[in-house]
Each structure stands twice: as structure tokens, then as C-alpha cells.
Chains A and B, each alone.
Chain A
Amino acid sequence: MAAGGFLLGFVLLWCCFYLFYKGFPYVRPGADQVTEFKLRLVREGHPFSSGHKRLRMMAFGDSKTLAGFVPDVFERTMALEGIAVESYNLGLPGDVKYVSRLETLIARGEAPDVALLSFAWPDTDEAKPDAFHFIADDDVVMTRIFPFRRLPRDLFVFAGLARARGGALAFYREAESILRQVETDRGYYFISGQSHYPGDRLPDDYKDADDTPALAEVRHAATNTETFRRLSRELADHHIRCVFTPRYFREGQRAPVPDSNTALAATLKGSATFTQAGPDYYLYPNRYFSDTAHLNREGAAIYTRQLGELMAGWLRENGKQSDGHAF
């Protein structure tokens, strides 16, 4: 009897949390909303609207891509170079597993002609479930059972930010508009939540404990994994090219790198589908960053223009694939 009462109380509490969570979806951080929006887009949406009339390019990566690649700017830059492009920013906060999303898009016929990659796939394949390891990700399971589990944190952050944004109601409406803006900006999202500096500009003298000005962060790609082999096959079958494009850091955050990563180039040599363009990353002054890791709007425009010019040059050199299929 008592156990039944306890369980009933538990179910009631679950329902209360769930109703609140569903009733006020915009108290969640913008990054979570954007993630949900983009994952839905991958599953059932249409990131490209022009069919195949223009070259379709999609940027994959983490929050740096999310806050750095501006499709409008990229397309304008390419247009100035005489190349008609339609682009989309599929950067997701904390994402390192974009391969499955690319595969979903390929299966749905929504894949780009060129995928712009910030970094490579994981070095090792995901372990397959077996008798001794049958649940891989507890966080996913927990979030499935208790979708509202981040609600206390979200409410705390929301309340903290709301004070500076004209009160709870005004901030809620502002948050509500985020998704419309992301949709308009085709996946680009300015991460304002982590910006604590006037004008969303990091001070010129800012230094972080994680900075390693003498150390370069060099990219590499594991080509001996099943993930790589499977992806290569699928990309080749659908005439899709993957290009490693530069990421970005603050000046002083990492050491400068050469114009090309020769080790990565050697790894990818002979691959019909994977290639690299430009250096591993660009370095920008602090003023172009809104927080320690992400570009502000001005910085994003500069970075995207540089990417556009880089990709225009790359396209002029690689206008056709090895089988003669034009982009």
C-alpha cells in the first residue's frame, strides 16, 4: 500500500516536471534548442531549397562551426568569385559524431555536394553492444526517461540571464525568436549566453589558463577504422566530397600553423572523397571573440569570408571529381 502510494507520488512528480518542461520550452538554453532543431532537420527537414541548381555545401562541426560559419556571408563571397553556392551550417554544440548525421542526410537524399569538416571522425569505431556491454550511453537513456532532467539548471540560467534582458517575459520571447533566427540564418547561431564582456568582445589582453601559445593543435584522421571505410564508400557512391577546412582560435591560444598540414595530406592522399583545403586553423585577435572559444558576429563574418575565398580557390582547382562528375 505504502509502496503504491510512493510510486503514485513519483509518477505525479514526473508528470509535473514534464508538463512544465513541455509548457515552457524556451527556458532551455539556445544551444539546446538549436541542437534539437538541427537534429529534427536532419531526420525530416530540407536544409537545401534550391534542389541541385546550385552547389550544395554543408559545414559540419561543433559549437565553433555553429558560431563561426555564416551561410549568407559564405554564399556572397563565393558569388563574388563567380560560383553559385547554397550552404548550410550543421554545427552542433559539443558534437564529435557528425558521421551518423551525414549518413542520414545521404539516405534521405538531402546530402550536400561538398561537406566542410572542422575535424575528423573519432579515432576508434564505436564499440558494438555485446553480452557484457549492452548499454552504451547512460546519459541518452536517462534523458529519454526524464526529458526534463536539465530543467533546474535551465531555469537557473534563464533566471540569471533574464535580469539583464528586460525581465523573464521579455527574455522568454527573445528566446522564442532564436529558432526563427537560426532557420533564417540557415544554422548559424551567435552564442551570446557565454559572453560576459561589453559589446560581446573579449578584452585584448585576455588570456586563458588553457592557452598553449607554443603548441599547435594539429588535425589527423584515422583511416583504419570501419567508420572511415563505410563513409568513404557512401560518399563515393553519391559523388560527395569532404573537405577539411580550417577551424579558428584566438591569437595566443595556439601556435601558428603552416598553410597546409602535410601529415594529414599524406594520410588522405589517394582518397577520392577526402581532401583538405588551407591550414588546420586561423588565428584571430581577441576582439573577434565573444567568449574564450567562439567568434562574435564580426569575427564570424571575417572567418566565413576567409573560408569562402579558400573554397572558391579550391573549387577552381577541383571543379570535377576524379570520375569526371561535375559538382
Chain B
Amino acid sequence: MTKRLFVKGNEAVAMGALEAGCRYYFGYPITPQSDVPEYIARHLPALGGQFIQAESEIASINMLLGAAACGARAMTSSSSPGISLKQEGISYMAGSECPGLIVNVCRSGPGLGGIDASQADYFQAVKGGGHGGYHIIVLAPDSVQEMYDLAMLAFDLSDRYRIPAMLLADAVIGQMKEGLVAHKYVPPADLAEKTWALTEKCNSGKRKVVKSLRLGDGEMEAHNNNLHARYAEMAQREVRYEGLHLDDAELVLTAFGSCARIAKTALRLAREQGMKVGMLRPVTLFPFPAAPLREHCATARKVLCFELNNGQMVDDVRLALPDKEVAFYGRAPGAGSLPTPEEFLAQIRTHYEA
């Protein structure tokens, strides 16, 4: 059997990123994600990379923009209020078509928030958190293993489409320890060389520009159309999800990340009690798995969406299933009051029997 490590989710995402060839990290500490920079600070120098604790979140995201413009695999990580500070820079990255990884180990509530697990940043992540009508790739790991695996996938997707990618996690996924199989990174065969990047290889005599300011006649409109065409292409090609017991499900659950873990136990208990319940867990939150949802819910009576917030992803579920009854249960947890599988099971029973 492959040797399994026993590590925190925050360490796993750092390990996955370094294995995927990330050699530049820029960030500023904040709970509950500080294990990410801590791990990277310890290991990146030996790999010949650069770890920089910047003077602020805003500085660090702009350093990421710079490293990405030069073609490097680079990342930053933070938590909700810090991610808000980075939004201007993320918009510039989206506008300048600069790939890069942003990890958000989400806090709860607006403002400075709490440090408990929460999924309150779903809207900010998937709807384009900054100005300008853009989107970024958003992946939602639900285990320590996926923190590792999806860090690699995030870099690949980000490079392939020249769109920044975010891993959206929380204190449950970040602080929890589980077994991890740390496998080798294999770059996808179709990943093109970054000929657009501002590197020393620029000897063709042709000028290279990475920019978000586009003042030429029709230039900005064409740029926006181009970005949105790539979002549509991703929706066709890059959607990822996990399906459980969907074949005969009368009630389909949807949940992502830590909340999906709680729901999985509730699902097992419901099945043990003879209820025909299934689950579809979006792994990519953007692009959202709308088509698979439609396909798998075709014969279900009802859909129940669980979230650790007051209802955000449920909007996308409802948009995907306009003719289906979609119920919601969720709450923004406070200290020590995470929803439990028993609590979700009670909701499943109510909706299953109704």
C-alpha cells in the first residue's frame, strides 16, 4: 500500500502547489490559513523559489500579478477579509489574463468575521469578486487529499485558460488532518508554452504587452467577449463533480466543501434508513456543474441544498433547475456550532417525506 502522510489541509494545499511547480509565494498571515505560508516559507527556499511575506494583502496580490505576467507559477493565500483586499488585484489579473492560484480559507461573517468554518464567500468567489464583470475558476476541495490534488488542477486550468484560479476552503478543510497520498505532478500534455509572458526569451523583435487597459476602438468589447467565450468553453469542458447514489435518488442533495462532508454522513444514515437519497457535490464552483445537475435530477422529486451560510450556491442550483423544487437548509456557524450530520438528517427526512 502507498505510504500515506498524516497532514493538515492547509499543509496539503501548500504541498500540492509546490509539487505542481509553484516557485513564488506572496502573502500576509491571517487565521485560519497561516499554516499555508508557514509550510511554504520552510520548503520553498530549498526548491530555489521565493517566499515573500509582503507588507499587506494588496501588495501580495500585485506581486502575484507581476510574477504571473512573467510566466511563473505563483500563488497567494489568505482568508476572507484579506481576500476582499485582494479583489482589485484579482480583477487586474483577470483583465490582464494572468494565471495564478489564490487560496481562500474562508472566515465567517462580514467585516473582520470569525475564524470558524464558513462558506460565506461563495458569491464573492464565483460571481467575480472585483469590478468588471469577469469570473475566475473556483474549486472547492472537500478533503485533505483534494486540497493537494486540486492545487495542481487549479494551476493547470489557470494556465490553460489564462484565468486566475481560486481554491475555496474553510477552517474544517484547512485545519483537519487526514491521510494524504502525495503523488507526483504530471503536467497535462496540452499545456502550451507561455509565449505571451514577459520573459527574457522575447527576442523575436515583437513587442509583448500584458495589460488590462484597452482604449482602442472596440478593443475592450472584443476582450470581454473573448473572456466570456472562454468561460463558456470551460463550462463545456472543465466541469467536475462527485455523484453519490444518484441512480435511484428521489431526493438529491447538493453541497460543496466541508458542508459536503457533513452531508455525506447524513446521506449514509438516510440510505441506512431506506430513504432513496443521492448527492451531487460540485467540485468546480465556477464553472458550475449545471448540465450534470439537470441530467442527474431529471427523475428526482426534489433537491435539497446544504450550505454553511444563509443560502448562496442554492441560487445557482435553482438557475440550473428552473422546473424543480429546490429547498435550502444552512446557517452561518459560530464558535463550536457547526451543523452536524444528525441535524442534516432531520432535514433530509422532512423533505423526503413531504
Q: Do A and B bind each other?
A: no
Question: Which A positions have Cβ atoms within 8 angstroms of B?
Answer: none
Question: Which B positions have Cβ atoms within 8 angstroms of A?
Answer: none
